[in-house]
Amino acid sequence: MDLRYSEADEKFRGEFRSWLNDAVPAYGDPPPPHDWPARRAYDTGWQRTLYQAGYACIDWPKQYGGRDASPTEQLVYFEEIARARAPYVGINFVGIKHGGPTLIAEGTPEQKARHIPRILKGEEVWCQGFSEPGAGSDLASLQTRAVRDGDHYVVNGHKIWTTYAQVADYCELLVRTDPAAPKHKGISWLILPMNLPGIEIGPLRTLVGEGEFNELFLEDVRVPVEDRVGAENDGWRVTNVTLRFERGTAFAAAIYSQQEFLADIARAARQVTRDDARAWDDTALRKEIGHAQAELDALWAMVKMGVSESSKTGVPGIAGVAVKLLYSELDQRLGDLAMRVLGRAGLSRDDVGGLPSKRFLATALKSISLTIAAGTSQIQRNIIAERILGLPKER
């Protein structure tokens, strides 16, 4: 039960920190969130900067350009990124955290050679084509069809929640290759180049307004068979290999940015004056801020527990399942706190009265998605109840 980082971890921290101290101010401020070409340039440029300094994809194996960073080194990495308020992966998220690791684990030598170095250097952006209008929590019931025609698959279907499709070069696409097989057994994983004929991208207007989500309409799109990753009909297993890369750090960056948000809320509360008192003087509000702080610190300790477990055993502890449930619900409470501090200024999504409405509302509205995306809170609770607590299935 020891929270002291090793000397090697602290050495890595020192080097990375001093690099960030110069690199972050030199890189400049991010563009407006909906200027997609500018965001692509900004995020891929930062990725290239990281790559040149040897800090890109540190969790990847050395032979693929990573550092084989241990889970604790990854924690140090997140702590330092947060401390320096440095950019994080941004639109490179799918390539770095999902597509790339999947190719490393399951790709052919040709697939790896074609994509891995380019993802690493920020030359190639990926998006994710998993969910469909009829396949959300029950993802394995997806219906997008891929029919073999010589050395191509002909793909027809409709994907939704395709993050960053508007700037992506490739899509990790799940398709049904055997409609007769049980639903988990008839799925394949394809690399879909986004410039093929028959692909139509429609921005999905969410409750936030504009954003990173899209719909993807696929009509007779011809994907070379050589772009399939893993065996035909083995796509469900291929999808799950990325879990092996998840070493208890999946939500570390998100939890760290919550810390920033909470500190900003507290700062705003000390500025706002209502009825001749600062919002901060409201004991109830202050205690809720303290309460949220406790949960955030406890969550970070929980991440450290999972990371320690995976450092030794290769897999994070079972309790890690609860991290997603807890952090997503906490995020929404932070959103409520932000709204309470803003008061009527929170009715404006542009800054008014010197308050950071724009940023607070963007975070508060986005938080609504967190209990839905990547497994709804209800699905997480079923998993905890059945797999951890051993409670009987409902039917």
Partner 1 sequence: MDFRVTETQQELRNAVHSFCRTRVTVSLLHELATKGGFDRSLWQELAELGVFSLRRPEARGGSGLGMAEAVLVFEELGRCLAPGPLVWSHLAADLVGGAASGAVVVGGLDLAGAAPAPYLVEHRDALGVLLILKPDGVARLDPKRAPVRPVATPLDPLTPLHYAEQLPDGDRIAGADAARRLRLEGATLVAAQLLGVAEATLEVAVSYAKIREQFGRPIGSFQALKHMMADMFARQELARAAVYAAAATLDHPEVGDVERAVATAKLVAAEAAMKNSRACIQLHGGMGYTWEVPAHYYFKRTWVLESLFGTADEQAAILAEKTAAAP
Member of 299, 338, 341, 355 binding partner 1 (CB under 8 A): 299
171-179, 204-212, 215-223, 319-327 -> range binding partner 1 (CB under 8 A): 319-327
Is 4 a binding residue for partner 1 by CB under 8 A? The answer is yes
Which of 309, 331, 360, 369 is in the footprint of partner 1 by CB under 8 A?
Answer: 309
Binding residues with partner 1: total (CB under 8 A): 56
Cβ-contact 176, 235 below 8 angstroms: no
Does residue 25 interact with partner 1 by CB under 8 A? no
Judge contact between 159 and 129, C-beta under 8 A: yes
Q: Which residues form the catalytic set?
A: 246
Burial of 36 (0-12, 13-18, 19+ CB in 10 A): middle
Can residue 9 be called a binding residue for partner 1 (CB under 8 A)? yes
> Does position 326 bind partner 1 by CB under 8 A?
yes
Q: Exactly one of 147, 288, 349, 352 binds partner 1 (CB under 8 A); which one?
A: 288
Check binding of 382 to partner 1 (CB under 8 A): yes
301 interacts with partner 1 by CB under 8 A? yes
Min dist CB 7 to partner 1, Å, is: 11
| Interatomic CA distance for residues 111 and 192, integer angstroms | 12
Q: Is the dihedral of CA 236, 198, 213, 247 positive or negative?
A: positive
Cα–Cα distance for residue pair 53/136, rounded to 1 Å: 39
> Looking at 46-54, 172-180, 207-215, 378-386, which segment touches partner 1 (CB under 8 A)?
378-386
Q: Is 132 helix (H, G, I), strand (E, B) or coil?
A: strand
C-alpha torsion 144→149→151→157, nearest 10: -20
Binds partner 1 by CB under 8 A, chosen from 29, 109, 207, 312: 312
Among 48, 118, 286, 359, binds partner 1 (CB under 8 A): 286
> Within 10 Å of residue 368's Cβ, how many Cβ atoms?
15
Q: Which of residues 240-279 bind partner 1 (CB under 8 A)?
A: 259, 262-263, 266-267, 270
- Cα 9 to Cα 18, 60, 208, 278: the distances in Å are 14, 17, 39, 42
Residue in 92, 131, 166, 380 binding partner 1, rule: CB under 8 A: 380
Count other C-beta atoms under 10 Å from residue 2's C-beta.
Answer: 6
Decide if residue 231 touches partner 1 (CB under 8 A): no
Query: Which lies closer to partner 1 via its Cβ, residue 196 or residue 305?
Result: 305
Closer to partner 1 by Cβ: residue 8 or 38: 8
The answer to whether the CB of 127 falls within 8 A of the CB of 84 is: no
Contact stretch for partner 1 (CB under 8 A) within 108-116, 233-241, 281-289, 354-362: 281-289
Cα–Cα distance, 281 to 332 (Å, whole number): 23
- Residue 162 is given by DSSP the state -
Could you tell me which of 364, 368, 288 has the C-alpha nearest to residue 328? 368
Interface residue list for partner 1 (CB under 8 A)? 1-6, 9, 72, 75, 259, 262-263, 266-267, 270, 280, 283, 286-291, 293-295, 297-299, 301-302, 304-305, 307-309, 311-312, 319, 322, 325-326, 378, 380-382, 384-386, 388-394
